[in-house]
C-alpha cells in the first residue's frame, strides 16, 4: 500500500482568520506533496499578497502555491475546474452546501469547515468568578469580536442560577474594552465591514422584536464615531427556537437560555443544525467530560475552549465534513494505492 499526493488542491479561505485558515490548508497539502491554488476572500486580499511575497522569498518553486484573488464566480470556477483534484473550503454553511453539491456531482473529495452555533453549558456547580474565568470565557465566547465560527454564543444556564449567570455575563460584556483593533488593550474591535455590521445589527433588532430581554449592549459605542462597531451584547430569556439562538450571528452577541436538569441542557445543546464547538463549565472535571461526550459536536472544551493544532478540528451536521489539524490532517491530502505482487 502506498500513500500518494492527491494532486492539485483548490482552497478557498474566508476573511475572519485569513492567514491562519490558509495555513490549515497549505501546510498539510504541501507536506503531502500536493500543489495548491488558493482563493482568498475579497475582503482580505492585501495580506494574501504578503503571503505570496513570502512564498517567493522562501524559494518555493513557481506553481507549487498559487494565490488567485477573486469573488464568488472565481470560487465556483476553481471548485469545478477539471484539473483540481480536491477542494478545501472554509466559510459559511450556505456557500459550503454549494461547494458540496458541485463536488458531489464531480465525485471530487472535499473538506468543509463551516458555520457554528455552539453551546456553552454552565452546570450548577460552575465557578462564576470572573477574576478566575474571565479570560477563558472571553476566548470561548467573544474572541475576534465574535467573528469566529466555533464560539459558544448560546449560553445554557440552570434555572436555579439563571439570574446569577445573566448578571455575570452582563458584567463580563460591560467590562470588555471596545476600540481600535491595533491597540493591545482592545478586546472588541470593529466588525469586518459595514455590510457585516448591518447584518449583526439586524440580528440584534430581531432579538428585540422576538421578545428576548436585552440585558446589555445592543447598539454602537457612543464614544466611537468611526469604525463599524457593535457593543458586546447579552440577551436573556431566549428560547432555543428563536432566530438569535439558531442562526449564526458572527458578532459579539450572546443568548442566555435556561434549562432544567442536565438532560435538558444536552437536549437544548443538540437542538441545533450545527455542531462545531462548545464548552462545559463546572468545578467537577469528570462530570464535565461526561456531559461533553453527550454533546453532538466536533470539538468541545471543559472550562475553556481553544483549538489545539495537535488535535483534529472540524464539525458535524451543518458545520462541515472532514477534519483539519492534528496528525490526520495530511491524510486528507493523500490517496491510498494498493499494489498487488
- For 7, 35, 109, 150, the CA distances from 334, given in Å and listed in that order, are 8, 12, 10, 27
Name which of 138, 207, 151, 205 is nearest 178 in CA terms: 138
Contact between 205 and 243 under an 8 Å Cβ cutoff? The reply is no
> Does the annotation mark 73 as catalytic?
no
Contacts of 83 (CB under 8 A, 6+ apart): 8
**Among 149, 201, 248, 324, which one carries the catalytic annotation?**
149
Contact between 280 and 292 under an 8 Å Cβ cutoff? The reply is yes
Name which of 288, 276, 285 is nearest 323 in CA terms: 276
> Does the annotation mark 34 as catalytic?
no
Cα atoms in the Cβ-side hemisphere of radius 13 Å centred on 52 = 15
Contact between 113 and 90 under an 8 Å Cβ cutoff? The reply is yes
The three cell numbers of residue 58 are 522562501
- Gap between the Cα atoms of 284 and 230, Å rounded: 35
The three cell numbers of residue 126 are 460552575
The three cell numbers of residue 131 are 477574576
- Gap between the Cα atoms of 251 and 240, Å rounded: 18
The CA dihedral of 193, 196, 202, 207, to the nearest 10 degrees, is -110
User: Strand 334-337 to strand 2-5: parallel, antiparallel, or no bridges (unpaired)?
Assistant: antiparallel
**Among 113, 201, 231, 324, which one carries the catalytic annotation?**
113
Write out the catalytic residue numbers.
113, 149
Amino acid at each position: 500500500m502506498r500513500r500518494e499526493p492527491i494532486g492539485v488542491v483548490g482552497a478557498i479561505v474566508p476573511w475572519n482568520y485569513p492567514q491562519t485558515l490558509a495555513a490549515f490548508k497549505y501546510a498539510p497539502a504541501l507536506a503531502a506533496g500536493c500543489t495548491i491554488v488558493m482563493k482568498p476572500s475579497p475582503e482580505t486580499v492585501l495580506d494574501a499578497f504578503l503571503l505570496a511575497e513570502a512564498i517567493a522569498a522562501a524559494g518555493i518553486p513557481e506553481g507549487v502555491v498559487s494565490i488567485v484573488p477573486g469573488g464568488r464566480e472565481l470560487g465556483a470556477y476553481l471548485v469545478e475546474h477539471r484539473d483540481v483534484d480536491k477542494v478545501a473550503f472554509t466559510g459559511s454553511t450556505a456557500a459550503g452546501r454549494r461547494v458540496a453539491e458541485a463536488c458531489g456531482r464531480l465525485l471530487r473529495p472535499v473538506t468543509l469547515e463551516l458555520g457554528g452555533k455552539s453551546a456553552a453549558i454552565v452546570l450548577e456547580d460552575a465557578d462564576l468568578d470572573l477574576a478566575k474565568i474571565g479570560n477563558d470565557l472571553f476566548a470561548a465566547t467573544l474572541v475576534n469580536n465574535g467573528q469566529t465560527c466555533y464560539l459558544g454564543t448560546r449560553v445554557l444556564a440552570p434555572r436555579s442560577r439563571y439570574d446569577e449567570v445573566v448578571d455575570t455575563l452582563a458584567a463580563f460584556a460591560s467590562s470588555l474594552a471596545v476600540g481600535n483593533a491595533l491597540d493591545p488593550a482592545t478586546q472588541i474591535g470593529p466588525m469586518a465591514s459595514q455590510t457585516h455590521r448591518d447584518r449583526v445589527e439586524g440580528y440584534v433588532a430581531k432579538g428585540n422584536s422576538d421578545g428576548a430581554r436585552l440585558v446589555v449592549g445592543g447598539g454602537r459605542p457612543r464614544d466611537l464615531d468611526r469604525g463599524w462597531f457593535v457593543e458586546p451584547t447579552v440577551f436573556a430569556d431566549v428560547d432555543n427556537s428563536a432566530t438569535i439562538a439558531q442562526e449564526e450571528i458572527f458578532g459579539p452577541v450572546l443568548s442566555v437560555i435556561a434549562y432544567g436538569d442536565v438532560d435538558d441542557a444536552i437536549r437544548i445543546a443538540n437542538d441545533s443544525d450545527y455542531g462545531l464547538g462548545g464548552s462545559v463549565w463546572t468545578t467537577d472535571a469528570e462530570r464535565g467530560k461526561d456531559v461533553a461526550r453527550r454533546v453532538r459536536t466536533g470539538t468541545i472544551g471543559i472550562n475553556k475552549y481553544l483549538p489545539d493544532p495537535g488535535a483534529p478540528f472540524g464539525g458535524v451536521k451543518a458545520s462541515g465534513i472532514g477534519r483539519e489539524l492534528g496528525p490526520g490532517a495530511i491524510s486528507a491530502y493523500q490517496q491510498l494505492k494498493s499494489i498487488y505482487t
